[in-house]
C-alpha cells in the first residue's frame, strides 16, 4: 500500500497591497512620517498649500498629519441670532359710522356701516367677516375693527363696496326676521 500525501492550498478572499512592513505598521497602529514635508522648513503651510503639495507629489496613499490648531476656526459663529429693536406697529381702529335703517313702523330693516380706510388702496387688502351678531374688518398691518351689531342679522344678505377714491368701505346687511 502506498502512503498518501496531502497538499493544502489556502485561498484568501483578498489580496494584500503595499509592502509587508507597511501592513504590519498599519495593523499595529503606527503612523508613517509624512514624506512630502521638509523637517527643516520653518514656514507654516495653509491647508490649501499642503493639499496642493501633496497632490503635486502624488502621495495619495501617504497619511496627512496636521498639527493641532493648524486649521483656523471661524471667529464668527455660523448662525447668529439677531433680535429686532423694532416694535410691531399696533393696528389702529379706523373711523366708522354705523346706522340702523327702520321701516315705517320703526322696526329695523338693515344695518349700514361706513368705514374710513385711507391707507387701503384695494379691497383685496381687506378681510371682512360677518356673523349674526358682529362684524370684523381686518387689514393686515394697518387696521382692525370689531363691532357688536345692535340687532341680529342675516349674514347671507350682506353686501360690501369699496370706494377707492375716498378710501371708504360700505357694508349693508339685513336684520334677521324674528322667529315666531
Question: Is 94 in contact with 166 (CB distance < 8 Å)?
Answer: no
> Three-state SS for 29?
coil
Cα angle 136, 137, 139; round to 5: 145
Q: Which pLDDT does position 15 carry in this prediction?
A: 62
Question: Is 146 in contact with 153 (CB distance < 8 Å)?
Answer: no
Q: What is the pTM of this model?
A: 0.50
Q: What is the pLDDT along the chain (180 residues), one digit of tens a residue?
A: 555 555 545 555 656 566 767 777 766 665 545 544 455 544 566 777 777 776 666 555 555 565 565 556 656 667 777 776 665 667 899 999 999 999 999 999 999 999 999 989 888 899 999 999 999 999 998 999 999 999 999 999 999 999 999 999 999 999 998 776
**96-174: CATH class:** mainly beta
Q: Where do the CATH 2.60.40.790 domains begin and end in the chain?
A: 96-174
Q: Which pLDDT does position 122 carry in this prediction?
A: 86
Residue linked to cell 497538499:
7
Amino acid at each position: 500500500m502506498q502512503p498518501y500525501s496531502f497538499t493544502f492550498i489556502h485561498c484568501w478572499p483578498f489580496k494584500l497591497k503595499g509592502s509587508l512592513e507597511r501592513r504590519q505598521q498599519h495593523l499595529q497602529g503606527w503612523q508613517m512620517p509624512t514624506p512630502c514635508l521638509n523637517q527643516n522648513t520653518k514656514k507654516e503651510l495653509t491647508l490649501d498649500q499642503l493639499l496642493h503639495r501633496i497632490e503635486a507629489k502624488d502621495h495619495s496613499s501617504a497619511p496627512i498629519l496636521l498639527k493641532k490648531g493648524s486649521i483656523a476656526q471661524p471667529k464668527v459663529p455660523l448662525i447668529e441670532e439677531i433680535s429686532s429693536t423694532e416694535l410691531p406697529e399696533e393696528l389702529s381702529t379706523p373711523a366708522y359710522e354705523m346706522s340702523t335703517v327702520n321701516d315705517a313702523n320703526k322696526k329695523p330693516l338693515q344695518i349700514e356701516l361706513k368705514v374710513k380706510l385711507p391707507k387701503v388702496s384695494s379691497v383685496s387688502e381687506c378681510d371682512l367677516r360677518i356673523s349674526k351678531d358682529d362684524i370684523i374688518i381686518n387689514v393686515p398691518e394697518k387696521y382692525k375693527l370689531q363691532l357688536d351689531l345692535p340687532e341680529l342679522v342675516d349674514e347671507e344678505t350682506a353686501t360690501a363696496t369699496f370706494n377707492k377714491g375716498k378710501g371708504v368701505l360700505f357694508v349693508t346687511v339685513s336684520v334677521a326676521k324674528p322667529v315666531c
